[in-house]
A and B are shown apart, each in its own frame.
With several copies, the nearest count.
Chain A
Amino acid sequence: MSIERDRANLPPLALHVPEPRFRPGDEADFSDVDVPPAGATRRPDTADAASSFHELAYGLVRVLDENGQAVGPWDPRLDADAKRRMLRSMALTRAFDERMFRAQRQGKTSFYMKSTGEEAVSIGAAMALAGDDMCFPSYRQQGILITRGYPIVTMMNQIYSNKADPLEGRQLPIMYSSKEYGFFSISGNLATQYPQAVGWAMASAAKGDTRISATWCGEGSTAEGDFHSALTFATVYKAPVIFNVVNNQWAISSFSGFAGAEATTFAARAIGYGIAGLRVDGNDALAVYAATQWAAERARTNQGPTLIEHFTYRAEGHSTSDDPTAYRSAGEPNAWPLGDPIRRLKEHLIAIGEWDEERHAAQDLELAELVKREQKEAEKNGILGHGMHQPFESMFEGVFEEIPWHLKEQQQQMLDEQKAAGL
C-alpha cells in the first residue's frame, strides 16, 4: 500500500454550494461591485499576442463615463449618425420586446423571451461586424436582426407561427433563422451554436474568404461541453471567430456562481486556451462596439479567436414562463450598477449635443407605433392556434431534401384521417 498519511486530525471536508447575495426579500446592494472608471483600460494593438494582455480578462472595458462622455482608448469615435442608429436599434428592440411579451400574455403565441437591459450586447456587436459576417446567436440576440434591418413583421410572423412565418410554423417563437441576414438558425439546445460558429469560421479561412463569424451564449451556457469543444477547435486552428459570453448574471433561477463566477471571470476562460480575452461593460454600447471591432480586426488578420465577456444584467424574467421574483431580490434590476444601456447612450448623445429628450420621446412614440403597425400587419397572417397556420401536410416537408416514401405515407395517412374526421 502507498504511504499512509495520518489524517486523524484533519478537519472534515465540506461541500461548497454557491449562494447568490440576494434572495427575495433582501435588499439588493451592488455598491461593492468593482466598476473601474471608463477609459482606464488599455487597448492593445490588434496584432499583439493574446498572452500579453491577460489583465483585460479581469478588467472591464468601458467607454461611457458618468458624465455621458465617451473616453479613453477604446472610444470607437463613431459619428453621431451611427450613434443615433445604434440608439434607435436598441429602442426598437425594446419596443418590440414589450409588444411581443404582451402578445404572448394575450394568448397570441406560446412563448416569448425579452432582451431587456442587454440590448447593447447584440446591437453594439452587430454594428461593428460587417453585414455579411455570420452570426450564431443564442435566443437573446434579436437585436442583431433588428440592427441588420430584418423586417419586423417577419419576426412577428415567426413568433406567431402563422402562414407567413418563414420557418413554416416549425420553430418555437423567437427561434429565427435568416441566412440572408447572416443569422444562423437558433437552437433550443444551449451552446450548440458555439462549435458551429467555429466550423463556419474555419471554412471561411480554408476558402481564403474574408468573412468571419461571431457567436453568443449566456454565462450559464458556458458550462456545456460544446463551449469547450468550440474554444479548443478555435485555438488549434486559429479560427476567425468572436465568442461572446453574455454574462447577465442569471441562468433562469441560477446565478452566475453556478457557472463558476465565484472563482474568476468568464473572460478568463480565454486565457485557459491561450486565446484573446476581453471583459466589457455590456451596458455600454460603445464599449461593446469597440471590443467587437477590435476582435473582428484580430480575426480578419489571422490573429485568431477572441472571447468577449459582456458584463450585463438580465433585467426581466428568463422568458414568459418565468417569474424572477421567486428566486431573486426584486430590487436587483434597479440596483444594478452599470445602468441601462439605452439611457446611457441617450445621455451621451445629449451630452455631446446630438440628441435631446424631446427627440427621444418622439422616437419612443414612433417606435411604439411602428411595432404596433407591424403587429397588425403580422396578425393578418394569423396568430398561433387560430387556423391561419401552414397547411398540415407541410409538416412532412423539409425533414429531408426530398420526402422519402415513409413520410409520404404518413402524410397521406394524416390527410386521410383528417378528411374522414371532417377536419
Chain B
Amino acid sequence: MSDTIHMNMIQAINSAMDVMMERDPNVIVMGEDVGYFGGVFRATAGLQAKYGKGRAFDTPITEIGIMGVAIGMGAYGLRPVPEIQFADYIYPALDQLVSEAARLRYRSAADFTAPITIRSPYGGGIFGGQTHSQSPEGIFTHVSGMKTVIPSTPYDAKGLLIAAIEDNDPVLFLEPKRIYNGPFHGHYDRPAKTWADHPGAQVPEGHYRVELGKAAVVRPGEAVTILCYGTMVHVVANTVEEMGVDAEIVDLRTLVPLDIETIEASVKKTGRCMIVHEATRTSGFGAELSAQVQERCFYHLEAPIERVTGFDTPYPHSLEWAYFPGPVRIGTALKKILKD
C-alpha cells in the first residue's frame, strides 16, 4: 500500500476517483457542475484538468438523463461515476436507477450490466432545509439488484468508493455531507471539529479497497450494540464516550449487502441493540435492521431493540437541531435500553 497522508472526506473521495481514472480509462465522472468547476462540494476538483473533458464533464440538469446516459455508457463498456448533486434530487432518476440499472443484469441474463457508481451527498445538519438534507437510503435498500454504501471516515470513503467503482453492479454511494470536513460530535452549538487528529483521516495515496459488505466495529463493548452509519457513527461514538457507556458501535458501511455476521455476533454478545439513523423512522433502514436482529437474535435479546431516527416529517429548516437525532435523543434511548 502506498504512502499515507492526511485527507478530509472530500479529498479522499476525490482521490478515489483520481486513482481509478488513472488506472482504468473506462472510468468517467459526470454530473451537474462536476466538470470545470469540480462540483459544488469540490469532490471532482481537478479531474477535468487532468483527464480531459471527455472523461470528466458537466451535464444538463436532468437526473433522468444522467442516470440513463450512465446506463448506456455502462452497456458500451465504460464504468461511469455520475454525481447527483444532492441525494434529495435523486428522485427524478429513480425510474432509471430502479427499473433499469438495478434490473439490467437480471433481465438480460447478464448480457448487459450496469457497472455504475452513483455518488451523492446526503443527510442534514447544514441548514439545507427540506431539499438539501434528506437521507433516502432506505428506499434503495428495498430495491433488488443494487448496493448501497455509506462511509464514515476519509479512509473508508476512499476504499469503499474504489471498491464500488470496481464493482460490476450499480452501487449507490451516499456521502454524509455533514462530515466532509470533520467528524461531527453532535453538538451543533460547540465548535466544529476537523479531521485533523482523526485516525480515519490517514489515507493511502494510491489504490486500496475497503471491501463492500463488511461492517466495522468502531468501538468494542459489552453493554449494548449500536448499529449506525455515516454521520451518526461519530455522533454515537461521542455520545457513548460522554456517557461512559460500554457500547459496541458497529459502523455498517455497506447497507446492502449487509454484514449480518458482525451484527449478529455483536448483538448475541451484548443482548441489546440500538439502531441510529437520520432518515425518517417509518420504513427506514432501521426497520430492516430491527427485523433482522429480532429474527436472528430473538433468544438473546434482553430488551426491545430501540430505534433512534429522524422524525416522520420533512427536514425542517429552522428546527433542524430538534429534528436531528443528536446526543440528547441518543442518550435518552441508551439509558432506556440499558435499564430495560
* Cα of A255 to Cα of B133 in the assembled complex, Å: 26
Cα of A385 to Cα of B65 in the assembled complex, Å = 38
Contacts of B104 in A (CB 8 A): 185
Check B323 for interface membership: any CB of A closer than 8 A.
yes
Question: Within 8 Å CB of A26, what residues of B?
Answer: none
B52 to chain A minimum Cβ distance, whole angstroms, is: 9
A residues less than 8 Å from B107 (CB atoms): 167, 170-171, 175, 177, 185, 187
CB of A224 to closest CB in B, whole Å = 5
| CA of A207 to CA of B110, assembled, Å | 23
A206 engages B130 (CB within 8 Å): no
CB atoms of A396 and B72 under 8 A apart: no
Report if A401 contacts B (CB, 8 A): yes
Q: Is the CB–CB distance between B106 and A189 below 8 Å? A: no
Which residue numbers of B lie inside 8 Å of A, CB to CB?
28, 32-33, 35-37, 40, 53-55, 57-65, 67-78, 80, 88-89, 91-92, 95-96, 99-100, 104-113, 127-132, 144-145, 147, 167-169, 213, 256-258, 260, 281-282, 311-314, 316-319, 322-323, 328-329, 331-332
- In this complex, how many residues of chain A approach chain B with their Cβ under 8 Å: the count is 89
Pick the 9 closest A-B CB pairs, nearest first.
A199-B72, A188-B131, A195-B68, A172-B129, A169-B318, A229-B65, A161-B318, A199-B69, A253-B37
Query: What's the least CB distance linking B326 to chain A, in Å?
Result: 10
A398 touches B332 (CB 8 A): no
Q: How far is the CA of A207 from the CA of B88 in the complex (A)?
A: 32
Cβ contacts under 8 Å, A199 to chain B: 68-76, 80
Report the separation of the CA atoms of residues A322 and B35 in the bound assembly, to the nearest whole angstrom. Answer: 16
- B75 and A200 form a contact (CB under 8 A): yes
Assess whether B145 is in contact with A236, with CB atoms less than 8 Å apart: no
B105 and A171: CB pair below 8 A? no
Docked CA distance A322–B285 (Å): 34
Q: Is the CB of A224 within 8 A of B108?
A: no
Query: B68 to A226, Cβ gap below 8 A?
Result: yes
* Neighbouring A residues of B69 by C-beta, 8 Å: 195-196, 198-199, 202, 229, 233
Q: Closest A-chain residue to B89, C-beta based?
A: A189
Shortest distance between the CB of B340 and any CB in chain A (Å): 16
List which A394-415 residues lie within 8 A (CB) of chain B: 394-396, 398-401, 404-407, 410, 414
Query: Which of B73, B110, B128, B130 is A202 in contact with, Cβ under 8 Å?
Result: B73
Instruction: Digitize A207-239: 1 where CB-to-B-CB distance is under 8 Å, 0 elsewhere.
Output: 100000100000011011110111011001000
A105 to B328, CA, bound (A): 30
Assess the A406–B257 pair: CB atoms within 8 A.
yes
Is A58 an interface position by the 8 A CB rule? no
When C-beta atoms are compared, the residue in chain B nearest to A326 turns out to be B37
Chain A positions within 8 Å of B58 at CB level: 17, 253-254, 258
Question: Is there an interface contact between B62 and A170, defined as CB atoms closer than 8 Å?
Answer: no
Known contacts A196-B69, A233-B69, A417-B328: does B36 contact A23 (CB below 8 Å)? yes
Residue pair A229, B105 in contact (C-beta under 8 Å): no
Contact of B95 (CB < 8 Å), options: A192, A228, A233, A423? A192
- A196–B95 Cα distance when bound, in Å, is 13
Q: Is residue A178 contacting chain B, with contact meaning CB distance below 8 A?
A: yes
* B contact residues around A194 at 8 Å (CB): 68
A398 to B105, CA, bound (A): 6
Would you give the 0/1 interface string for A133-177, flagging 1 where the beta carbon is closer than 8 Å to chain B? 010100000000000000000000000011001111111110101
Of A229, A385, A394, A398, the contact of B64 (CB 8 Å cutoff): A229
Given A177-B111, A188-B132, A229-B68 contact (CB < 8 Å):
yes
**When the two chains form their complex, are residues B40 and A228 in contact, meaning their CB atoms are under 8 A apart?**
no
By the criterion CB–CB under 8 Å, are B61 and A221 in contact?
A: yes
* B65 touching A166, Cβ below 8 Å: no
Cross-chain pairs A/B with CB under 8 angstroms, 7 sampled? A17-B57, A162-B318, A207-B76, A224-B92, A236-B59, A251-B61, A406-B282
Q: Is the CB of A188 within 8 A of B88?
A: yes
Q: Which of B57, B61, B260 contacts A220 (CB 8 A)?
A: B61
Q: Are B130 and A395 in contact (CB under 8 A)?
A: no
In the bound complex, how far is the Cα of B107 from the Cα of A194, in angstroms?
18
A260 at the interface (CB under 8 A from B): yes
State whether B328 touches A223 (Cβ < 8 A): no
Q: Report chain A residues within 8 Å CB of B70.
A: 199
Is A101 interfacial (CB-CB < 8 Å)? no
Residues of B within 8 Å of A327, CB to CB, are 36-37
Q: Is A363 an interface residue (CB 8 A)?
A: no
Closest beta carbon of chain A to B168's beta carbon, Å: 5
Tell me whether B257 and A225 are in contact (CB under 8 A): no
Contact assessment for B313 and A203 in the assembled complex, using a CB-CB cutoff below 8 Å? no
B36 touches A170 (CB 8 A): no
A202 CB to closest chain B CB (Å) equals 6
CA distance A24 to B131 in the complex (A): 31
Residue from A134, A395, A404 within 8 A of B322 (CB atoms): A395
CB-CB < 8 A to A263: which residues of B? none
CB distance from A225 to the nearest CB of B (A): 5
Instruction: Identify the interface centre among A170, A173, A260, A385: most chain B CB within 10 Å of its CB.
Output: A170
Contacts of A400 in B (CB 8 A): 105, 145, 147, 169
* Distance from A230 Cβ to chain B, minimum over Cβ atoms (Å): 7
The answer to whether A179 touches B311 (Cβ under 8 A) is: no
CB distance B100 to A233 under 8 Å? no
Q: Taking the complex as formed, is A301 at the interface, i.e. its CB lies under 8 A from any CB of chain B? A: no
Of A225, A326, A399, the contact of B312 (CB 8 Å cutoff): A399
Q: How far is the CB of B115 from chain A (nearest CB, A)?
A: 9
Q: Is A302 an interface residue (CB 8 A)?
A: no
Residue of A nearest to B100 (CB): A192
Q: Cβ of A252 < 8 Å from any Cβ of B?
A: yes
Q: Decide if A166 touches B109 in the complex (CB within 8 Å).
A: yes
| CB <8 Å contact, A226 and B64 | yes
* Given A19-B53, A399-B313; A198-B68 close (CB under 8 Å): yes
CB of A169 within 8 A of CB of B319, answer yes
Asked if A398 contacts B127 (CB within 8 A), the reply is no
Query: Which residue in chain A gives the minimum CB-CB distance to B80?
Result: A199
